[in-house]
Amino acid sequence: MTGLPANLRRVLDAAIALERADGRDAEAAALERHYAEVMPRMRAAQLVDPLFTTALDWARLPRLSGAIARLTAVVVDAGLDPRDVLGEPRAAATLAELYARTHYGGAMPMLYGYPADLAYLAARGADAVELIDRYLVAPVIHELCHFARDRTVHLPIHLDECVGGWLGVHVHPAFAYPASDENDAIYAAPWLAQVGQAIVRAFGIRAVIRTHAGVERGLPPAFLDDVARLAREDWATRRSAHLLADPRDPEPWLALIEPYLDAADPAVDRAILEDALRAMCLVSEVVDGSFRTRSVVPAAPITIRDRRVRCGDASYWIPLDLQAELVITSLDDVPRLASAAIDG
């Protein structure tokens, strides 16, 4: 299993050992095949696709360039050298070269670069550079938000995904919340990003970024111990092939984070509420075999209570004790409705 990041390899080895100890040899073998054969084979096929081998013309990649610039600024603000944390993404000659430098780029295929997704993009009738800037900024930023290949990962891989998810939304809002005429957001990003957002709200962006980059264990030791224990217990129960917890069930993780929340931060809390309202406006669907996510006006009302924003099956954590029922008639309503909910 060459190319797997060290932390993922440790988690995978522990999962395989547990399966074998429980007499689940077939499940252990399936995990081995997934990471030693299936994923590397998909990655290899992906990296020779024309979309990945076309020369990048960075002057024609304004959305990707802007997101990389914002990500770089976050890293610098945390007191880190972006060359150590991100490499130099804009020095990459092709998408294959850019992706291969990322944390998972040595072993796994890039998200939204699977065969059905590549076929969907090929049918859009644009050249490769235009397609990358129109459809692949979110998945490229997702990979860059996992930082360097050799970083030390201090959080369980599920929370590592949550922090990476929040960071992706932070530097490129369309990562989760596409414009009304787009469908290129990462599916279910708010399920993970809300937990990462709660971690940042509790401990501050600088400490979280430095911990995420692996340069220090900047979060309370008791918290790190608790989430590591929960990660072990969760996988022993769930035993998912992707080794993550259920992203649709953030409650156990939020329960460990909420005791660390300090006094209100009005600007941050309002931004979280706006993200929560936008998360209620997402619809995912399969289009020509590719899973796409777009924003629509929800048919049902949105309720806010018990520090949760809910609409249908969707739920999003907020750090505010509010009681409200809202109706969105336009996607442009979100700032106004957030103000109305805060003002009572």
Element (H, E) at 136: none
Question: Phi-psi category of 99—alpha, beta or left, where left has phi over 0 and alpha has psi -120 to 50?
Answer: alpha
282-287/314-317 β-pairing:
unpaired
pLDDT at 276: 97
pTM reported for the whole predicted model:
0.95
- Three-point CA angle 30, 31, 32, nearest 5°: 90
pLDDT in the model for residue 344: 78
What are the extents of the domains in the chain?
Answer: 6-262, 278-344
Single out the residue of 134, 148, 131 nearest to residue 7, CA to CA: 148
- C-alpha radius of gyration, the chain, whole number: 20
Whether 310 and 279 have beta carbons less than 8 Å apart is answered as no
At 1 the pLDDT is 65
**Coil/strand/helix, residue 293:** strand
For the chain, list residues with pLDDT below 50: none
Nearest CA among 29, 7, 8 for reference residue 19: 29
Query: What is the distance between the alpha carbons of residues 309 and 197, in angstroms, rounded to a whole number?
Result: 14
- Which run of H or E residues covers position 282? strand 282-287
Q: Looking at this protein, which amino acid is placed at residue 285?
A: E
Residue 67: count of CB within 10 angstroms of its CB: 24
Q: In what order do the strands lie in the sheet with 324-326?
A: 314-317, 308-311, 302-305, 324-326
Cα gap 176→290, rounded to integer Å? 17
